[in-house]
Structure 1
Amino acid sequence: MNFILTTERLYLQPCGAEDLMRLHRLWTNQHIRYFLFDDRIISEDEARSFIQASLDSFNRHNYGLWLVYCQNQCIGFAGFLDAEEAPNLIYGIHPDCWGQGYATEAARAVLTYGLETLSLPRVNADVDEPNTASVQVLQKLGMKQVGHAIVNHHPLLYFTTYS
């Protein structure tokens, strides 16, 4: 199966071992890690383990983590994480590219792939409540807020959508 996703402006390619430094640079950016990892700086080994888990997920479920490219430049990531109830949508765009609709475009490509191509019955997402831009992305995708919680002293909102 071909896992390349394209949109009008973006090209999404599965993240592989050769992408370790690209992914690690994105994930250690202070603005991305603030919400993604509660401001914790992850190690290269953690990023490597995540890439391997993503590759395993592509083999098992036909989904995982994609790197997002615009004009041959890696500007972010989007994908699904394995979770008990349903795959969890994840995405992030480098701050230099914020405000241009790339997060919505990339997340929509992944969500459409999951719901339409893979026929996933449900997709979930969670977001830090103060991350209003990400909340707006999920709302633009048609996902509905279904709950909230405090996790590690951070307010989280839970969203879901069904096929």
Structure 2
Amino acid sequence: MKISIETARLKLKPCHPNDLEAVHTLWINDRIRYFLFDDRVISSDEARSFIQDSLTNFEQHGYGLWLIYLRKNHALIGFAGCLQSENQSPSLIYGIHPDYWNEGYATEAASSVLRYVSSLEFACIVADVDEPNIASIQVLKKLGMKQTKQAVINQKPLLYFEYLC
């Protein structure tokens, strides 16, 4: 089941294979990929694989990745959703194009995803974030997520958060 989500300013639509070029362009933006892919430029094939995984997650678990559009002009400004974590809990992920930072869009989109995925009766939703990514840490805290641990993975400090459903 794939569902669209609307907020006061945003429309979130499930990511589709036809969105590959737009998604890939967004994900290779240097300011987005810095934290999302450890500054690595992913290939179009990797982006295609993420989209396919999202479709599978929608079918199997009811969640996946949504693309975020402004309602007022239909501009694609980012993505939000959940991936399946190692412990099988939904893992929140989001990113906003730098042209739209500091407008509250990440919080608005992630909050709507959190609310929707919480309704699917999971025990918790998790997230991890690079410790230097202060903006994302602030978003997670605004969402009511609590830090549960920290670790160093591939020489990068990560913080782990959890939201009890």
Match of 2:129, SS? strand
Given the alignment of the two structures, is residue 80 of structure 1 paired with residue 118 of structure 2, yes or no?
no
What is the rounded CA distance, in whole Å, between the counterparts of 1:21 and 1:62 in structure 2? 24
More off after superposition, 76-85 vs 142-151: 76-85
Letter in 1 for 2:149: G
Structure 1 gaps of 5+ residues are none
Question: 1:7 is matched with which residue?
Answer: 7
Percent identical across equivalent pairs? 59
Deviation at residue 83 of structure 1 after TM alignment: 1.5
What is the rounded CA distance, in whole Å, between the counterparts of 2:22 and 2:122 in structure 1? 29
Match of 2:8, SS? coil
TM-score relative to the length of structure 2: 0.96
Given the alignment of the two structures, is residue 152 of structure 1 paired with residue 154 of structure 2, yes or no?
yes
Deviation at residue 84 of structure 1 after TM alignment: 3.0
What is the rounded CA distance, in whole Å, between the counterparts of 2:46 and 2:76 in structure 1? 20
Q: Deviations over 1:123-163 (max 9, x none)?
A: 00000000000000000000000000111111100000111
Letter in 1 for 2:127: A
What is the rounded CA distance, in whole Å, between the counterparts of 1:10 and 1:157 in structure 2? 28
Q: Deviations over 1:90-144 (max 9, x none)?
A: 000000000000000000010000112x122200000000000000000000000
Given the alignment of the two structures, is residue 114 of structure 1 paired with residue 117 of structure 2, yes or no?
yes
Pairs within 5 Å for 1:133-148: 133-148=135-150
Given the alignment of the two structures, is residue 132 of structure 1 paired with residue 134 of structure 2, yes or no?
yes
Letter in 2 for 1:30: D
Question: 1:16 is matched with which residue?
Answer: 16
Letter in 2 for 1:96: D
Letter in 2 for 1:40: R
TM-score relative to the length of structure 1: 0.97
Letter in 2 for 1:78: A
Q: Deviations over 1:31-55 (max 9, x none)?
A: 0000000000000000001101100
Deviation at residue 2 of structure 1 after TM alignment: 5.0
Indicate the RMSD between aligned Cα atoms, in angstroms. 0.8
What is the rounded CA distance, in whole Å, between the counterparts of 1:75 and 1:152 in structure 2? 29
Question: 1:56 is matched with which residue?
Answer: 56
Q: Aligned in 2, Cα 1:76/1:64: closer, same or farther, shift over 3 Å? A: same
Q: Deviations over 1:39-74 (max 9, x none)?
A: 000000000011011001111111100000003011
Q: Aligned in 2, Cα 1:55/1:4: closer, same or farther, shift over 3 Å? A: same
1:105 maps to which of 80, 100, 108: 108
What is the rounded CA distance, in whole Å, between the counterparts of 1:69 and 1:83 in structure 2? 26
What is the rounded CA distance, in whole Å, between the counterparts of 2:161 and 2:101 in structure 1? 22
Moved over 2 A (4+): none
